Structure 1
Amino acid sequence: MRGADLVALNEARRVRCAALLITDLGDGTSTLVREGESVPETLREVVEKAFRSGKSGLVELEGKRLFLNVHVPPPRIAVIGAVHISQALARMADVAGFDLRMIDPRTAFATEERFEGVELVADWPEDVLKDAPLDAYTALVAVTHDPKIDDFPIAEALRTECFYVGALGSRKTHAKRVERLLALGITDEQIARIDAPIGLDIGAQSPAEIAVAVLGAIIQAFRKRELKS
């Protein structure tokens, strides 16, 4: 790997941007591609597939053997609300390979006893997200049912293009949420990205079942996400 490529790759990692190092095994030349950068038409399909899967591998293209070394930021979940659904989701997310952070200013809910082994921050989302901002490789799950807690991180998730934005609540509750988000300057197009009612429609009833539906929606959104262009 060229020194310049290593520097560029480390910078991409620092800012949580996906990058792909393409090495021609025939002549040893390499090219670094960041997500969103243009590539020749002949490479577009394999590059998109690599970014979506996050898996490195060998491909043969137009008589050349190319090794694609993929570096995709680890996807993570930011949960707003330390509720029963969140307890189940935290356990499942770990098994599915997602980093998870629990944020809730209500110290009666956000306790180590209820969330053992989980990254837990008992503070307001406005303050937490200043130091740990959301990004395109983060899923936002808002489940407090309290606009004072949920609205800011939902708006921030839409502005930063989180790959998934889900919010708990009925259609009536969501309609009121939409009015508040519009007042915050969020566009109709952005609001349309919110998964509400939250999760896949599997008829979930219990907190654990809702957590399954939410995690399924997150995985679906991540694997089928629209890549930057």
Structure 2
Amino acid sequence: MTDHLLQTARDWHRAGRGVAIATVVETWGSAPRGVGSLLIIDDTGRMEGSVSGGCVEGAVILEALDAIPQGTARLLDYGVSDDAAFAVGLACGGRIRVLVEPVGGAMPIPLLTALVDAITARQPIAYVTDLDGGPPTLADPAAYPERFRLDRSGVEDDARTFVAIHNPPLRMIVVGAVHIAQALLPMARACGFDPVLIDPRGAFGSADRFPGETILEDWPDAAMAALAPDSRTAVVTLTHDPKLDDPAIAATLRSGAFYLGCLGSKRTHAKRVDRLTADGFGADDIARIHAPVGLDLGGRAPAEIAVSIMAQVIATLRRPA
């Protein structure tokens, strides 16, 4: 995630430094950094972030140093075919376009502050700017539903409107410190999720079994209330124990979590449905539950089941509803 760079840019400006934000707005071929990648530069040449992995950073910094006192945006284009390819081009191939926006000029301070505040509050928001020089604006997910669903910044079909998507970080809440969880949590992190493990049984959720993981030894109802699952959260229950799974399931069904998967056979799930129905949950609520959890890949080992769960989570996140 590069969102922290926007807060750094705001902090630098508040400290009295001239600042510019460089954003990759388009790529072709083997460009090393994706659309939406950020580089921030101050008026002394200090930088954080990257727009090319080192290929064109020097040239972008020089452009930014020129742009900061002027306050106007610059749209830069670099490719391997440039005459000075090895100096200011992509020697590894490909092509990128980079938008440089001085803070307080092309990027207004109130707009940057509102953007950073939304990101800090875990609110999805888009930064929309006109590559032909029009003023930037902010937009919510209703304006660009597909881009938010896919986490995909980019230029619109009009070839002039660039939309930078800022989604809250993805989270995965796993209830039950079992063998499957030992494989699932590292997979989730590798796929861009921040995993949290809930299990009140200290012998199960120990640091020895889950080194480096965030482990909550609370009962699931209390832990879920504190975590407050939202539209960027997946929840997986793995204990087989209704005393632990059911409170987490109920909390998830009352939340906006995009995914809920529950371990257990079809018979186990049928009993679960009976309990949920008795607690007042309707058919639409119960239809949100993926059970038995995971895609049917035919796997049986804990790591194979974890793969099937991770695949189903990603499919649910990325495929159209």
**Normalised-by-shorter TM-score class:** 0.7 to 0.9
Number of the residue aligned with 2:138: 32
Q: CA RMSD in A?
A: 1.6
Number of the residue aligned with 1:175: 270
State the aligned residue count: 215
TM-score (norm 1): 0.87
Number of the residue aligned with 1:49: 146
Amino acid corresponding to residue 129 of structure 2 in structure 1: T
Number of the residue aligned with 2:116: 10
Kindly tell me: are residues 15 and 107 of structure 1, through their superposed partners in 2, closer, same or farther at Cα, counting changes over 3 Å?
same
With 180-189 and 97-106 compared, the bigger mean Cα shift is at: 180-189
Number of the residue aligned with 1:150: 245
Quick check: 1:21–1:70 contact (8 Å CA) kept in 2? yes
Cα distance in 2 between the residues matched to 1:176 and 1:81: 19
Amino acid corresponding to residue 213 of structure 1 in structure 2: S
**Structure 1: unaligned runs, 5 residues or longer:** 40-46
SS for the counterpart of 2:122 is: coil
1:163 counterpart (243, 258, 269): 258
Cα distance in 1 between the residues matched to 2:128 and 2:226: 34
Cα distance in 2 between the residues matched to 1:7 and 1:140: 32
Cα distance in 2 between the residues matched to 1:121 and 1:17: 25
Which structure has the bigger radius of gyration? Answer: 2
Cα distance in 2 between the residues matched to 1:108 and 1:144: 14
Q: CA deviation at 1:6?
A: 3.3
SS for the counterpart of 1:86 is: helix
Q: Which runs of 4+ in 1 moved over 6 A?
A: none
Kindly tell me: are residues 225 and 16 of structure 1, through their superposed partners in 2, closer, same or farther at Cα, counting changes over 3 Å?
farther
Quick check: 1:86–1:211 contact (8 Å CA) kept in 2? yes
Number of the residue aligned with 1:43: none
Q: CA deviation at 1:215?
A: 0.4
Quick check: 2:173–2:198 contact (8 Å CA) kept in 1? yes
Amino acid corresponding to residue 115 of structure 1 in structure 2: F
Amino acid corresponding to residue 84 of structure 1 in structure 2: H
Number of the residue aligned with 1:19: 125
SS for the counterpart of 2:160 is: strand
Q: How does 1:102-121 map to 2 (within 5 A)?
A: 102-121=197-216
Quick check: 1:16–1:137 contact (8 Å CA) kept in 2? no
Quick check: 2:225–2:251 contact (8 Å CA) kept in 1? no
Cα distance in 1 between the residues matched to 2:125 and 2:227: 21
Cα distance in 2 between the residues matched to 1:213 and 1:188: 25
Q: CA deviation at 1:127?
A: 1.5
SS for the counterpart of 2:129 is: strand
Number of the residue aligned with 1:86: 181
Cα distance in 2 between the residues matched to 1:211 and 1:225: 23
Q: CA deviation at 1:28?
A: 2.4
Quick check: 2:221–2:251 contact (8 Å CA) kept in 1? no
Q: CA deviation at 1:115?
A: 0.1
**Structure 2: unaligned runs, 5 residues or longer:** 1-106
With 162-171 and 152-161 compared, the bigger mean Cα shift is at: 152-161
Cα distance in 1 between the residues matched to 2:265 and 2:291: 8
User: CA deviation digits over 1:188-224, x for unaligned, max 9?
Assistant: 1011010000000111111110000000001111112
Cα distance in 2 between the residues matched to 1:77 and 1:192: 20
Q: How does 1:39-78 map to 2 (within 5 A)?
A: 39=143, 47-61=144-158, 65-78=160-173
Q: CA deviation at 1:183?
A: 2.4
Amino acid corresponding to residue 203 of structure 1 in structure 2: G
TM-score (norm 2): 0.63
Quick check: 1:56–1:70 contact (8 Å CA) kept in 2? yes
Kindly tell me: are residues 31 and 135 of structure 1, through their superposed partners in 2, closer, same or farther at Cα, counting changes over 3 Å?
same
